[in-house]
C-alpha cells in the first residue's frame, strides 16, 4: 500500500511539474507576442516616417527603437527620388537588421521590400509572348537563387518549376479542400491569384524547403525563393496607368477591388488603415495568416484609378527596385544577349561604392551609423532616380534600345514590405540564452538556440498620399513562420 501511495505521489508531482512548465511556456509565448507586437508597431512607424521624410511630428532620421538620429536620412529619405519623391534603398533605416530588447526579451528585426523581388503574377499576362518572357525570367531567377550552394537548382528544374507555377495559376478548378484559403479568383476569368508564394509548395516540382532560409551542410546560407520572388507587390503594367487598362491588369484590378479578404486571426475592425502607432493589434497571437492581395481594405492603387508609379518610373510589380534587388533578380531580368550580366555587376558595384558626403561650411560631421552588432556602417551610394544609371560604368556600352529596356524594368521606390521579427527567451533559470554579438557569432546563436524562439512575419503595403500622409495597409497582419530569414548580400562571401 505504501508503494502504491508513493507511486501515485510521484505521478502527481510529475504531472504538476509538467503543467507548471507548460503554463510557464504559455506565459512566455504571450510575453513574446506582446514584445513582437510592440516592435512591429515601431517598424510601422519607421516605414511611415521614411515615406514622409520624418514629418508628422517626428524628427527626420529619428530611430523609434531608441538608436538615435540616422544621418542616412539626408541621403536616402525624401527629396531624392523622381519628382521629389522618396527613395528606398539599403541605406534606409528600415533596411538594416536591428536588435533591441523589450521587457527582457531579445528581438531581431529584419525588413525586406517586396519591390526588390520579381512578381510571379506577371506570368498571367494576356499577351502570350510577354507571358512567355515572364516565365523565362522566373526560371532564370530560380536558377540563380541558390547558385554556389549544395542546394543549387539546375536550369532544367528551374524551367519546370516556373512552368508549373504558371500552369497552376491558369488552372481554374481544383479538388483541394483548402483551395479558398490560398487563392483569389478573377471573376469571368480562368486565372487565379495565389495569396502566398508558399502555395506553390503543394506542386510536385516544389517542396517546403524551397520556401525557407537555412544553412546547408557546407555552412553556406541557402535562401528561400521568397527572397527573390513575390506575389505581394502591386501588379500593373506601364500601359495600365493610362486609360487603356485591358487584359490581365483590368482583371486583377476588378478582382482586388471586389475580393473578400480572409479575416482569420483578428476581428473585422482590425483591418483599418495603419497610420503609425494607431494601428490595432492582432486579435489572435496564434499566428493565423491574414492575407489579401492589394491591401486588407480591398483597395488597390490601380483599382482606385491612381498611377502606381512616380513620373518616369514603371508601375509597381512590373519593375524592381535597383537599390535593393538581389543580384539573382537583376541578372535575370533579361537574357544575357539582350543586356549583359556584366552591366548588372557594374550596377551592384556602383551601389556598394562609399558615399562621399560634402559638408556645407560650418556643418558638423553626421553621427556614425551602427549595425545590429554595434559595428559602424559604411554609407554607400544609392540611385536617387533611374536616370542615375547613366553614371554606371558600362551604361554607355548599351544600345539605346537596351537602355530603354533597363529603364522600363527599373525603379527606386518600394511600396510593399515584409517585416520579420524573431524573439528569443531562455526557459532556464540558471543560464541565459546565447545572443550573437557579431556577425561571426550568428551561426553559433542558431546552433545553441535553447529556449523559446518565435519568428513572426507581417506584410505591409505603404501607400503614399492622403490627408494623414503615408498610410500602411496590412496584407499579412500576423503569421508565425518556422525560420529566421537572412539578408541577401551582394557579396555573400562576407563574414556573417
Task: Tell me the pLDDT tens digit for each residue of 180-205.
Answer: 556 666 666 667 788 889 989 989 99
**pLDDT, the chain, mean:** 74
Confidence (pLDDT) at 289: 32
Full residue range of the structural domain in which residue 198 is found: 65-481
Q: How confident is the model at residue 51 (pLDDT cuts 50, 70, 90)?
A: confident
In a domain, 17, yes or no: no
Confidence (pLDDT) at 88: 93
Q: What is the mean pLDDT of residues 100-104?
A: 86
Q: Are 250 and 134 in contact (CB under 8 A)?
A: no
List, for residues 247-301, the tens digit of each pLDDT value.
Answer: 333 333 343 333 333 323 333 333 333 333 223 333 333 333 333 333 323 333 3
Q: Worst-scoring range by mean pLDDT, 25-29, 252-256, 381-385, 387-391? A: 252-256
In a domain, 360, yes or no: yes
- Of 154, 121, 302, 315, residue with least CA distance to 229: 121
Q: What is the mean pLDDT of residues 155-173?
A: 90
Q: What is the mean pLDDT of residues 91-102?
A: 90
> Of 279 and 354, which is predicted with more confidence?
354
Q: What percent of the chain has pLDDT over 70?
A: 65
C-alpha cell at 74: 539626408
In a domain, 60, yes or no: no
Q: Are 429 and 377 in contact (CB under 8 A)?
A: no
In a domain, 470, yes or no: yes
Contacts of 301 (CB under 8 A, 6+ apart): 234, 236, 307, 308, 316, 463
* Sheet hosting strand 416-425, strand order edge to edge: 98-102, 105-113, 416-425, 452-463, 471-481
> Of 308 and 217, which is predicted with more confidence?
217
List, for residues 388-445, the tens digit of each pLDDT value.
Answer: 999 999 999 999 999 999 999 999 999 999 999 999 877 665 556 667 777 777 777 7
List, for residues 52-72, the tens digit of each pLDDT value.
Answer: 764 333 333 333 333 333 333
Q: Are 257 and 298 in contact (CB under 8 A)?
A: yes
C-alpha cell at 206: 516544389
In a domain, 27, yes or no: no
In a domain, 33, yes or no: no
Confidence (pLDDT) at 158: 97
Q: Worst-scoring range by mean pLDDT, 20-29, 31-40, 146-155, 472-481? A: 20-29
In a domain, 40, yes or no: no
Q: What is the mean pLDDT of residues 238-248?
A: 38
In a domain, 421, yes or no: yes
Domain tally for the chain? 1
Q: Are 187 and 255 in contact (CB under 8 A)?
A: yes
Amino acid at each position: 500500500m505504501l508503494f502504491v501511495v508513493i507511486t501515485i505521489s510521484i505521478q502527481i508531482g510529475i504531472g504538476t511539474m509538467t503543467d507548471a512548465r507548460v503554463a510557464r511556456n504559455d506565459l512566455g509565448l504571450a510575453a513574446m507576442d506582446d514584445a513582437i507586437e510592440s516592435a512591429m508597431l515601431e517598424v510601422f512607424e519607421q516605414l511611415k516616417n521614411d515615406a514622409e521624410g520624418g514629418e508628422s511630428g517626428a524628427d527626420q532620421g529619428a530611430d523609434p527603437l531608441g538608436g538615435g538620429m540616422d544621418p542616412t536620412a539626408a541621403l536616402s529619405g525624401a527629396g531624392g527620388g523622381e519628382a521629389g519623391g522618396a527613395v528606398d534603398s539599403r541605406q534606409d533605416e528600415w533596411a538594416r537588421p536591428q536588435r533591441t530588447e523589450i521587457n527582457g526579451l531579445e528581438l531581431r528585426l529584419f525588413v525586406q521590400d517586396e519591390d526588390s523581388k520579381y512578381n510571379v503574377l506577371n506570368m498571367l499576362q494576356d499577351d502570350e509572348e510577354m507571358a512567355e518572357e515572364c516565365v523565362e525570367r522566373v526560371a532564370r531567377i530560380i536558377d540563380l537563387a541558390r547558385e554556389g550552394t549544395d542546394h543549387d537548382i539546375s536550369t532544367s528544374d528551374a524551367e519546370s518549376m516556373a512552368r508549373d507555377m504558371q500552369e497552376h495559376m491558369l488552372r481554374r478548378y481544383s479538388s483541394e479542400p483548402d483551395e479558398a484559403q490560398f487563392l483569389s479568383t478573377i471573376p469571368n476569368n480562368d486565372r487565379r491569384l495565389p495569396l502566398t508564394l508558399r502555395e506553390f509548395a503543394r506542386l510536385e516540382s516544389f517542396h517546403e524547403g524551397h520556401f525557407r532560409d537555412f544553412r546547408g551542410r557546407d555552412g553556406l546560407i541557402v535562401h528561400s525563393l521568397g527572397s527573390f520572388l513575390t506575389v505581394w507587390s502591386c501588379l500593373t503594367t506601364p500601359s495600365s496607368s493610362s486609360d487603356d487598362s485591358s487584359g490581365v491588369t483590368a482583371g486583377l484590378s476588378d478582382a482586388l477591388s471586389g475580393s473578400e479578404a480572409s479575416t482569420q486571426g483578428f476581428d473585422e475592425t482590425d483591418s483599418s488603415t495603419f497610420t503609425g502607432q494607431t494601428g490595432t493589434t492582432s486579435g489572435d497571437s496564434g499566428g493565423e495568416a491574414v492575407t489579401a492581395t492589394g491591401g486588407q481594405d480591398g483597395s488597390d492603387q490601380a483599382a482606385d484609378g491612381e498611377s502606381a508609379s512616380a513620373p518616369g518610373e514603371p508601375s509597381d510589380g512590373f519593375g524592381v527596385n535597383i537599390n535593393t534587388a538581389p543580384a539573382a533578380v537583376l541578372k535575370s531580368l533579361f537574357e544575357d544577349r539582350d543586356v549583359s550580366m556584366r552591366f548588372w555587376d557594374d550596377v551592384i558595384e556602383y551601389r556598394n561604392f562609399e558615399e562621399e558626403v560634402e559638408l556645407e561650411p560650418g556643418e558638423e560631421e553626421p553621427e556614425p551609423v551602427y549595425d545590429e552588432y554595434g559595428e559602424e556602417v559604411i554609407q554607400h551610394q544609392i540611385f536617387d532616380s533611374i536616370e542615375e544609371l547613366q553614371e554606371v560604368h558600362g551604361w554607355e556600352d548599351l544600345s539605346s534600345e537596351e537602355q530603354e529596356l533597363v529603364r522600363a524594368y527599373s525603379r527606386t521606390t518600394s511600396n510593399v514590405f515584409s517585416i520579420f521579427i524573431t524573439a528569443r527567451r531562455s526557459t532556464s533559470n540558471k543560464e541565459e540564452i546565447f545572443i550573437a554579438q557579431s556577425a561571426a557569432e550568428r551561426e553559433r546563436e542558431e546552433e545553441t538556440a535553447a529556449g523559446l524562439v518565435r519568428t513572426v512575419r507581417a506584410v505591409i503595403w505603404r501607400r503614399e498620399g492622403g490627408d494623414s500622409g503615408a498610410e500602411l495597409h496590412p496584407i499579412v497582419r500576423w503569421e508565425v513562420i518556422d525560420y529566421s530569414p537572412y539578408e541577401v548580400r551582394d557579396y555573400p562571401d562576407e563574414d556573417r
